[in-house]
Amino acid sequence: MRGLKVVNALPFGKNLLDACCRPKNTGLERKLWGLTFANPVGLAAGFDKDARFIDELSHLGFGFVEIGTVTPLPQPGNDQPRLFRLPEDEALVNRMGFNNEGVRAAAKRLQKRRSNIIVGGNIGKNKLTPNEEAVSDYEKCFHALFDVVDYFVVNVSSPNTPGLRALQEKEPLKQLLHHLQMLNNQKQQPRPILLKIAPDLTNEQLDDIIEIARETELAGLVATNTTISREGLQTPAAELEKIGAGGLSGRPVRERATEVIRYIHRKSGGTIPIIAVGGIFTAADAQEKLDAGASLVQVYTGFIYEGPTIVKKICQGLSIQP
């Protein structure tokens, strides 16, 4: 990313990046929530946590970028090492722990950006904030980012903040989302609010999520976050044990993420827009998610393994019907 910043700052750097990485094919636009996405391939949250590289990433062809997860106060995250490659599985394990400079730092950077790329704000709670006070943390992030992002994602599904996933339970989640929507509806131009969910939910829990999404009038869902499962990996068990806890992303979660998307799409009658994330490396992977019912897709681990031309390659291979 430092290299990308250097190239972007050169006299013809932006033109070079555009030529190498931007999709050339037209007809990939997506209109959703009153927003026009140049193409359906976005960068998932967790990569540009502090909104440091928005302008540079726009020249890699992304249709949108999701920053965060940001929290009200800066926090260092979990002890290092906390990010591990599993090359045999084309996967990552991370236990970053919402390391970020705080929501105000991200908001300041977004105020100064030059690109008009669509930006989502992924918001969470500080590690030391008890769950009973979590609503206050999400509210602070919502207010701080409101004027500088195009949509919000409420993150209650990271496995790396102790107790966070308990907020996915029905009553706490309803309370949180109702509160954010109340604040949102007081604004002159409300923002789309989405919820990011874990791949480890049961069908009964997914049914609850669908019910809550309808009841709180969510704009959509992001499916899915990382998994705590380690089933079916090629990486030796001893190595996995040495790595320890964390969320698994990449190819091993592709199938489960697609299952979750297909289930939600079918059970909701296609009424809930879905941003798909999980194991997307190729155009075929992206098409699989779109066919399952997703409206947009996001990459993270695929971006790390495939490199800066991933968006161009996916867009070249997509057969999206208008």
Query: Which residue numbers belong to the known binding site for substrate?
Result: 49, 94-98, 155, 160, 225-226
What is the phi/psi pair of residue 311, to 5°?
-65, -45
Query: Among the options 58, 157, 158, 295, which is catalytic?
Result: 158
Q: What does the alpha-carbon distance between residue 156 and residue 164 come to, in Å, rounded to a whole number? A: 6
In degrees, rounded to 5, the angle at the alpha carbon of residue 269 between the alpha carbons of residues 265 and 272 is 60
Identify the bridge partners of residue 91 per DSSP, sorted by sequence position.
Answer: 86, 250
DSSP E strand boundaries for 27-144: 30-32, 35-37, 41-43, 64-70, 83-86, 91-94, 118-123
Binding-site residue positions for FMN: 45-49, 69, 122, 155, 196, 224, 250, 279, 300-301
What is the phi/psi pair of residue 282, to 5°?
-130, 170
Provide the CB-side half-sphere exposure for 283 (13 A, CA): 13
Helix (H, G, I), strand (E, B) or coil at 46: coil
Q: What single-letter amino acid sits at 253?
A: V
Q: What does the alpha-carbon distance between residue 63 and residue 298 come to, in Å, rounded to a whole number? A: 9
Q: What does the alpha-carbon distance between residue 261 and residue 155 come to, in Å, rounded to a whole number? A: 17
Binding-site residue positions: 45-49, 69, 94-98, 122, 155, 160, 196, 224-226, 250, 279, 300-301
Q: Give a three-class secondary structure readout of 43-87.
A: ECCCCCCCCCCHHHHHCCCCCEEEEEEECCCCECCCCCCCEEEEH
DSSP E strand boundaries for the chain: 30-32, 35-37, 41-43, 64-70, 83-86, 91-94, 118-123, 151-155, 193-197, 220-223, 247-250, 274-277, 296-299
Q: What single-letter amino acid sits at 275?
A: I
158 is known as an active-site residue: yes
Torsion sign across C-alpha atoms 72, 68, 79, 157: positive
Both tokens of 17, joined, read: 């990046």
Catalytic residue annotation: 158
